[in-house]
Amino acid sequence: MGVSIFAYDVTEQVRARQQREIQQLQLAELFEQAPVAIAILRGEKYVIEVANPPMAELWGRTPAEVLGRPLLDALPEVRGQGFQELLDGVVTSGEAFVAQEVPTRLPRGGELATVYVNFVYHPLRDERGNVSSIGAVAIDVTEQVRARQAVASVNDRLTATNEQLTRTNVDLDNFIYTASHDLRAPIINIEGLLALLQDEWPAESRVGDVPYIMGLMHGAVERFKDTIDQLTDLTKLQRAHAEPATDVPLAPMVAAVELDLQPLITQTGGRVQVDVAACPSVSFSPKNLRSVVYNLLSNALKYHHPDRPPLVRLTSHAENGYTVLAVHDNGLGLAPEQQPELFNLFRRLHTHVEGSGVGLYMVKRIVENAGGKVTVRSEPGVGSSFSVHLPR
């Protein structure tokens, strides 16, 4: 009787097993430290074999509460939310499923809340090629979704507000147009009656205060007609906003405005100096630009200082993506507390000069409708500077 001793060198197998164990430990550590939620669901009941801390946190559980349990037992709240069907589909098809911003009801603070999740279900196969497990990778995107929804809600409210403002502007324009149209006929009748009265009034009766009073009446009619004309112009602003911009040479346009203002220049003894060499042209609606320049120059001449003839300077320059037209005068000027009211409709800050309080309102609205802005610097007794910033 003897003893047979067999010895096998299993060094490679041991090393291979040790290497696998090291790799498994490294993989487990990777799962634990990963910044995204990772889980492995095994078998027909999707037993939770691996769930790293981010996945457990996403589920509203601790890893100890879910590991080794079937998914729907560990997370009963997800029943009926379609996840069972999605997992079954991955097993059947053998293809990964990718989803974005899926609303999911999960426990948060002791109650169920809607959480938005991006996730991937990926099939894991055994040595025979069959799907034995599913790897799940997920990211909680609730904050991003809610932030986007908040922005969308604000945008919706802004859109609704803008639409309401547009309707209000249209209604206002229609009202102004109707009012100016309805007022024009009576004032023309009054003007005609005054002319008839002037013709029929006996010369011997035109004594004392009568001519003065008649002059006041004629002046009032003319001012009323001017106001109606400016109200009519207001109704055109909305339509004028859509007029195409063209390249407008400034020097000839300003010269044409000066020609129209020549009677006022002569009456006031004023001078207009123009220097547009820095920016000789601007892209704008010619009609609207002329209206802006006309109103600014005429105001600078009308509201001159009583102790000196008006000196008005119009210049142009480029500044931060704008072409700036600047109109400087040596007129009456405005106190700081008056300046915020300067562009209000029908607001007149100097009442000793005839006017309707419409011109500067129109300037501001024309410029802002085109994406520009108007600023003013003024000092009482020294003068004012208006800067019109037009997009280049």
**Two tokens at 213?**
């009073």
Query: What is the architecture, at CATH level 2, of domain 11-140?
Result: 2-Layer Sandwich (3.30)
Hey, which residues does 106 pair with through a beta bridge? 113
For the chain, give the percent of residues with pLDDT over 70: 79
Q: What is residue 75's predicted lDDT score, i.e. its pLDDT?
A: 95
Position 183 pLDDT exceeds 60 = yes
Burial class (CB in 10 A: 0-12, 13-18, 19+), 11: exposed
**H helix intervals, the chain:** 11-33, 53-59, 63-66, 71-74, 83-93, 142-200, 210-240, 250-260, 262-268, 286-302, 359-369
Which CA distances in Å does 44 have to 166, 266, 358?
61, 99, 79
Cβ contacts of 339 within 8 Å, gap of 6 or more? 376, 378
Spatial strand order in the sheet of 271-275: 271-275, 311-319, 322-329, 383-391, 373-379
* pLDDT tens for each residue of 212-255: 887 888 778 877 777 777 677 666 665 555 567 899 999 999 99
352 confidence band (pLDDT: 50, 70, 90): very low
Among 3-17, 147-161, 351-365, the minimum mean pLDDT is found in: 3-17
Q: Return the half-sphere exposure (C-beta side, CA atoms, 13 A cut-off) of residue 351.
A: 2
For the chain, give the percent of residues with pLDDT over 90: 46
Q: What is residue 26's predicted lDDT score, i.e. its pLDDT?
A: 52
| Buried b or exposed e, range 141-179, using 16+ CB within 10 angstroms | bbeebeeeeeeeeeeeeeeeeeeeeeeeeeeebeebeee
Q: Where along the chain do its domains lie?
A: 11-140, 147-240, 245-392
147-240 topology per CATH: Helix Hairpins (1.10.287)
* pLDDT tens for each residue of 116-157: 999 999 999 988 889 999 999 999 999 999 999 999 999 999
Name which of 299, 304, 271 is nearest 355 in CA terms: 299
Domains 11-140 and 245-392 share a fold: no
Helix pair 359-369, 286-302: axis angle to 10 deg: 150
Q: What is residue 349's predicted lDDT score, i.e. its pLDDT?
A: 47
245-392 topology per CATH: Heat Shock Protein 90 (3.30.565)
**Cα–Cα distance for residue pair 240/60, rounded to 1 Å:** 60
